[in-house]
Structure 1
């Protein structure tokens, strides 16, 4: 019997998930099949890798020694897929992902067209929801991966920056700041704000930058908190307040003269968008190809 990657991947997933049943669910295998593959691996090395005497699986000394090699084998397969994805022009399959609100509503629709032209045989299914929902569906194996607007900490998740973005101050066309070419941050803070809800990626980036500029967030005149960028834009257009949103989300309104983007002196609200997926998961080649597309192309031509 020869050592193979499939067995290492199964062993790693059992160790990461803490049980054979959880690993079987993650790998879309039956529990007996998972158990058999781990036993085959133990037979190959001639030693026990997992202790099954407790409710939760524990690694033996040999199992702990094998874990980093199993992880490296998974990383190697991922790297191989990523580098080979550029040659897969005739790739077929289904791309299924989750995207947080700003990404799903304003960023990806402009990128899926060019991607589809290059890979016309890949069908795309996208769920737009908040970061917590995306993570839950990934953990429950309802999604392969997601794209989110702010970093998260989760022990089972792999996270990687794949796109850049920048928030900008927006005001209604009749706002006192509408004719300014540049404004001071202190002046901006004198006006009422319409913001995304607490916990949204946009809100977190805005708050972090303002804190870095020694702004007391408690002193902001927040007149409204809304659950979507579209609602925020409508409120700003109606003159209810000013806000910070992704530059890509207001191209239409700016072109029509309904909203103005105003730069703030010495203030930049730069951020990254991140891909997330389970550490133990191997993404389908369609997903790897799409993530490579996001990382390697100059996306500004479409955004």
Structure 2
């Protein structure tokens, strides 16, 4: 029997999760299959890698010695996939991902065409939900990876910035602020706001940047919270309030003149869009290829 990467990955996941059942869930395998692969690895080395009891498992001395090599092998495999994704133009497969609302509704539709021309044999399936739900589905193994609008701090999740974006203040064309070249936050707080719902990346980035600038988002006169960027834009256009949204989502409305973008003096809502997936996950090569495309192409030509 030869040593193989699959077994090292399973061993590392069991060690990281501290449980055969949790590792099986993360790897989309049955628990007996995980146990069998670990036993095969133990047979290969002729040493027990875990001390098992009814309540918990612990790494043996041999297991602790193997762990850093298993981790390095996983890191090397990920690096290999990233490097080779540049050459996989004839790659076939299905790319299934989750995208937060702004990314899924306004950013990716402009990029999937160029991606499809470069990689014509990869089909794409995209689930559009808010950032918090994407994190939940990644953690629960319902999604392999997602693209989200706000940075996430979770010990089990790898996060990587892949695109840049900026939030801007928008007002209807007949609003009192529409003719001002720029406005102050003190002026802005006098007016009612229509915002994205709590849990959205857009809302979180806005609140964090306001806090850094010394403003409390609870001072905003929020008259409506809506679950999509399109709904917020429609409400602002109808005169129900003003808002702060991704500039990437405003191309048509600003071209038509129905919404105006107003710079806020001393505040800039710069952000990144992030790819997220579990640390224990080895992404399919189709997903690695897509993330590499986002990271290394000049996306501005399509935005």
Higher alpha-carbon deviation: 17-26 or 264-273: 17-26
1: CA distance, partners of 2:112 / 2:56 = 43
Report whether the alignment pairs 1:136 with 2:136.
yes
Question: Residue 4 of structure 1 aligns with which residue?
Answer: 4
Shift of 1:216: 3.0
> Quick one: distance in 2 between partners of 1:7 and 1:287?
22
Distance 1:242 1:292, change over 3 A: same
Aligned to 1:60: 60
Structure-1 residue corresponding to 2:228: 228
Pairing 1:123-272 to 2, within 5 Å after superposition:
123-272=123-272
Give the equivalent residue in structure 1 for 2:35: 35
Secondary structure of residue in 1 paired with 2:167: strand
**By how many angstroms is 1:178 displaced?**
1.1
Verify the 8 A CA contact 2:132 2:199 in the aligned structure 1. Answer: no
Mark the runs of 5 or more structure 2 residues left unpaired by the alignment: none
Pairwise CA RMSD: 1.6
User: Could you tell me which residue of structure 2 aligns to residue 115 of structure 1?
Assistant: 115
Q: CA–CA distance in 2 between the matches of 1:155 and 1:51?
A: 25
Using a 3 Å threshold, how does the CA distance of structure 1 residues 218 and 143 change in structure 2: closer, same or farther? Answer: closer
Q: TM-score, normalised by structure 2?
A: 0.94
Aligned residue for 1:276, secondary structure, equals strand
Shift of 1:69: 1.9
Partner of 1:291: 291
Residue 15 (structure 2) aligns with: 15
2-structure distance, mates of 1:197, 1:118: 36
Normalised TM-score (structure 1): 0.94
Structure 1 residue 254: Cα displacement: 0.7
Q: What does the per-residue CA deviation read over 1:190-225, in whole Å, with 9 as the maximum and x for residues that have no partner?
A: 222111122321111111111111113332222222
Rounded to whole Å, the distance in 2 between the matches of 1:64 and 1:16 is 12
SS in 2 for 1:126: strand
Deviation, 1:51, is 1.6
Deviations 1:257-298 (A, max 9, x none): 110111122321011111111111111110000000011111
The ranges of structure 1 where at least 4 consecutive aligned residues each deviate by more than 4 angstroms after the TM superposition are: none
How many residues are matched?
Answer: 303
1:73 matched to which residue of 2?
73
User: Structure 1 stretches of 5 or more lacking a match?
Assistant: none
